[in-house]
Structure formats: structure tokens, C-alpha cells
Structure 1
């Protein structure tokens, strides 16, 4: 069953990644591969939020956790596209864009992950009505 769930998650993540890439577009070798950057930031945030929330706030079945984390988010994000785009930028002589892309990807990925963990571990704030006041 886990393999089926992993495959479904992977298929959905890949379809979303492809759709966002088509929607954002690059037109060949772009001066800056914004689509991959956005997808990878979103993936860092979503994965960190999901794992933090399912560790501290509620639990989910391990099969769902794996199918979402490894399957969906794993196929949604793309280190290989990042690497290829870095090679394309450098090969086209866009060294400044390549450096900005590399540094921005690392820093942005860390910040998105930190934000996901922070929001995923926040405790629900009860209103006076929920506390019975």
C-alpha cells in the first residue's frame, strides 16, 4: 500500500511542479530561473511545516507522512533542475545570475524551512469562548 501512496504523491507533486513551471515559464535559458526558485522555496516551507506539525501538534499515519513528504514534496521540488540551471547560467556567461541563484537558493531555502518549522510548531491560541470564559 505504501508504494501506491508514494506513487500517487509523486505523481501529484510532479504534475504540480510541471504546471507551475509552465505557468511561470522561462523561455529557454533565463537570466534567472524564477520558477525553480519558487518551487524549491515552497517545497522547503511545506515539508518543514508538515513534519513539524505532525511531530508536535497532531499525528498522521506513517504511510501518509512518507507519501506526502517523500512522494509529493520530493517530486515537487527539484535539485536536479537547480543544478542544470546553474550549469546553463554559467555556460551562457551569466556568472552574476548564477552566483545570485546559488546564494539565494541556499539562503531562501533555509529561511523557508525555518519559517515552516516555526509555524508548524506554533500552539493553537484559544479564544475566551474556546476556554469556556
Structure 2
């Protein structure tokens, strides 16, 4: 596979096209939507944290063990994992290219999947097994 080298002249000329416009737009929209959802869920998270302040483990398990709260937390974790992956992608794009870029993107995706699955699994364990 041959890589195209992007020069300063190509970037300065608005008539040249490089990159994948649809993927970039999807990434931009996904980052903004997940950020907005995170802000909305932050209110719920703060409510739960304040509600559980000073409580013992049994009270925490009772609150998080509620299926509705568990589902909301699971959705929150999934959205945060997607947002984290996209945010790290933005940073990694600035520092890597070529084969190393593909490797760090793969590692970034795997890390976010592992964190998301472990966190969602932990919440579901509390919901179903206490």
C-alpha cells in the first residue's frame, strides 16, 4: 500500500482533497455528541455520589443494584469509552504515522474496549449478584 505524502502546498490549496471526509465528519460529530451525553449524565452521576456520601457498602450495592441505575451507569460507561477512544485518537494522530499509527490506534481501541467491558461487567455483577 502506497502512502500519499501531504505537503504544505496541498494543505494550503483548498482545491486539493486528502483524507477521508466522511470518516472525519463522523469522528467530529461522535466526539461532540458523546461529550454532550457525558455532560447530561454528569448530573446523574453527581446525584448518585451525593446520595451515597457517608453510606456503607450495603447502601451502595442497593442503589447501584437497582436495574434502572445499573443500565444508566452501563450506558454512561459505554459513552465514556467511545469518547475516550476518540479523544486519544486526536492526540495520537499528532504524534504517530504509518505503521506505528495503525499499531497505536489498535492498542487505543483495545484499551478502551477492555476498560469499557470490565467496568460494565462490574456494574452488571452488582446489579445481578449484589
Question: Into which bin does the TM-score normalised by the smaller protein fall?
Answer: 0.3 to 0.5
Q: TM-score, normalised by structure 1?
A: 0.35
- Higher relative contact order, chain-length normalized (CA < 8 Å, sep 6+): 1
Q: TM-score, normalised by structure 2?
A: 0.36
